[in-house]
A and B are shown apart, each in its own frame.
Chain A
């Protein structure tokens, strides 16, 4: 069964650090990416970061670039979101999300990949407050 389980959330002071973890099981290492998406309770979804399941090719939203970093722990099949210099506006529920890539080739001769977030963890709550 494909599963993502987040951990590591909690209360941290502004300027502090926190490391979120996402335990991955049931994924093929091919054609999958792991995203972090956050949501302030009662508000919308905001993409934060993405990394390939082999730990390569990380990307970040401008709002977290230089403060957050993603990495993979090969031994434990776990991905981490290291969050430094935290701000009050980083307060949110953070979801670990599996994004599948599906190849397409259309009648016009174009080809590429469709990406869609089809596996979501339950989320872990981060509160940045003094």
Chain B
């Protein structure tokens, strides 16, 4: 199975901050990397697919980058509605695997 490791597990940030979350795969996944946002009590929501493609209606302050085994989700200017948990997920192979999540909290 492809193991996905996110860092950090949690972070505290202020509105307006630039936030970066990283995800490392245990083998190359050739940009088959998706990012999701989950708020408490709700289902996850797709933000980024194929490493850098912004899902429809997702604000442009979210961006993704990376290749091979290393990927990054960046929020250019954190907004109040962005406080949530973020997950990376590889879709290169089965079983699909997720990172353990990064909780973004208010400083």
Contact = CB atoms under 8 A, between A and B. Distances in A.
Interface of A: 35, 37, 44-47, 50, 59, 61-62, 95, 99, 102, 104, 114-118, 120-123
Contact of B49 (A44, A59, A62, A116): A116
Interface of A is mostly: strand
A117 B101 contact: no
Given A35-B96, A59-B94, A123 B43 contact: yes
A117 B89 CA distance: 10
Interface residues of B, number: 25
Interface of B: 31-32, 34, 36, 38, 42-46, 49-50, 53, 55, 87, 89, 91, 94-101
A74 B44 CA distance: 27
B98 A114 contact: no
B87 to A, nearest CB: 6
A50 B100 CA distance: 21
